[in-house]
Amino acid sequence: MFELMRSIRIDVANGRATAEAFVPADHPLFADHFPVSRVLPGSLILELGAQVSGPLAEEFARSALGVERLAILGMVRDGRFLHPVYLPATLALNAEISRSQPSAINTTVTATVDGERVMQAELVMMMIESSGEWAEAIDDRNARLARWQEAS
């Protein structure tokens, strides 16, 4: 689902990131999901939030904590879906560091559509050390992140 993200902007000094994602109604993933009225699944909104929180947490860990770690979604705390998101939709995502330590960084994430908040959650990003066997996947992720940042 990485192709849904259009742009990301990371402000590591203030512990914040913003991003934009576009979800088309005709995406093959939604072929059998609410076929009459296409609704974006909440799990995908959380995934988009994690795609913003992960790079923010990694850059924050590097600059503020002095550790080089990868971020993976470890837990969703107090996730709330406030309104359904009908497709197609453009989501504005905001993430802010709320707590940090070398092993886990918490972010408060919100998603809005046309200025209306549709989701809010606290995501716990587990900060793990990378392994050499992940090199290709990390390179792909870094290239994707660079494209998102160029689009900002």
Positions marked active-site: 33
Looking at residue 39, the DSSP 8-state letter turns out to be B
Cα(108)–Cα(134) distance, rounded to whole angstroms? Answer: 28
H-helix or E-strand spanning residue 124: strand 116-128
Whether a cis peptide bond, with omega within 30° of 0, leads into 55 is no
Are the CB atoms for 49 and 3 separated by under 8 Å? no
